[in-house]
Amino acid sequence: MKKFTLILCLSIFFPLHINNIVTAEEKPVRIGYLQSDIHQLACWVALEKGFYQKHGVDAKVAGIFKAGPEEMSAFAAGALDMGYVGEAPATTAVVNRVAKATVLAQVNTEGSAIMVRKGSPIQKPADLEGKTVAIPGHATVQDFLLQKTLYKFKVDPEKVSIIVLKPPEMIGALKTDQIDAFIAWEPYPAKAQTMGVGRVLLASGEIWKNHPCCVLIADDGFRRLNPAEVRGMVKAHVEATNFIRQSPEEAVKIAMKYTGMDEETIRTAMKNVNYTYELSIDGETEYVDFLSRLKYIDVPDAETFVNRFIDASVLENVIGK
């Protein structure tokens, strides 16, 4: 009775403070990921295998997004605490002060492809001149890779019509000649192949070998206030990534469940993705330099930004480096 009276009295004088104390432990970690993006298989594995709970985290999916910039807008709105997203849109959002977030671990490298119709006369990147190419969004990893392709193979970007389509729409648009090519994350390139609609013009590893792609990020405010949950999320991510390597057959089934795609497509897609939690500082620095050249961002000192944007300390603590 005395305890109840004390809490009641305190709640009268400090209502907001008491409310925060009562609900803090019950508040789940709000996470987001990209729709049917097989790069983010580790997130699905962690959800399915209970790895988040195992490491003391009550993780709740608070958003499933069609492209990276949409997910970063959710971070900006305070709707997410942590998430799986492309490194390029995360970089752009943070540099442009749209969101305040930090990269804690890599999710994958490579895993995208430029696709053309199966019978297309396009045989090399130079043949994209005068053609219409779809990307999933501006400032996405795929936008970056296409721009890098045009630059690398000396194709004038002004002579390529670049449009934005959501990946689920790309295969139909390619099949009906609405576009000449698209670049997307897996499993959409693989699905275009297994449907007999498209073929690979360039895998992203041919554009930039071992390029970083998706990352695990945390909202800066959440990261400062919840170090235990952040560490638990990273531990779950590391375990899930190792699970994909050690139990590929079960990982395939989980990927099929979350994408709704057939086994042949998933197996084809997974061959094009390297699942890793090891951070790529050099890769992020190249992203910053190239995005600056495209005028998407303005970063006076890439190294200073990267050292602030990527925090390797939690991952290093988890894996014992």
pLDDT, residue 296, reads 87
- Among candidates 86, 89, 66, which has minimal Cα distance to 167? 66
Omega of the bond prior to 187 within 30 degrees of 0, cis?
yes
Q: What angle do CA 143, 279, 67 make, to 5 degrees?
A: 30
At residue 57, the 3 state secondary structure works out as: coil
Query: Fold identical between 27-110+211-319 and 112-207?
Result: yes
Q: Any idea where the domains of the chain sit in the sequence?
A: 27-110+211-319, 112-207
- Among candidates 101, 78, 296, 271, which has minimal Cα distance to 189? 271
pTM: 0.89
pLDDT, residue 15, reads 37
The answer to whether the beta carbons of residues 306 and 290 sit under 8 Å apart is no
- Among candidates 319, 320, 321, which has minimal Cα distance to 242? 319
Label each residue of 193-235 as H, E or C: HHCCCEEEEEEHHHHCCCCECEEEEEEHHHHHHCHHHHHHHHH
Q: Tell me the pLDDT of the chain (321 aa) as tens digits.
A: 434 333 333 333 333 333 333 334 569 999 999 999 999 999 999 999 999 999 999 999 999 999 899 999 999 999 999 999 999 999 999 999 999 999 999 999 999 999 999 999 999 999 999 999 999 998 899 999 999 999 999 999 999 999 999 999 999 999 999 999 999 999 999 999 999 999 999 999 999 999 999 999 999 999 999 999 999 999 999 999 999 999 999 999 999 999 999 999 999 999 999 999 999 999 999 999 988 888 889 999 999 999 999 999 999 999 997
Question: Rounded CA gap, 45 and 246, in Å?
Answer: 12
Element (H, E) at 242: helix 227-246
CA distance to 16, 52, 70, 207, 264, per residue, from 171 (Å)? 52, 34, 21, 21, 17
Q: What DSSP state is assigned to residue 170? A: H
CA distance to 31, 187, 215, 315, per residue, from 60 (Å)? 6, 24, 18, 21
Residue located via tokens 């809490």: 7
Question: Rounded CA gap, 321 and 315, in Å?
Answer: 8
- Among candidates 161, 147, 167, which has minimal Cα distance to 68? 167
CATH superfamily of 27-110+211-319: Periplasmic binding protein-like II (3.40.190.10)
pLDDT, residue 10, reads 33
The answer to whether the beta carbons of residues 223 and 315 sit under 8 Å apart is no
pLDDT, residue 26, reads 65
The answer to whether the beta carbons of residues 236 and 46 sit under 8 Å apart is yes
Domain 112-207 has CATH 3.40.50.2300: no
pLDDT, residue 281, reads 94
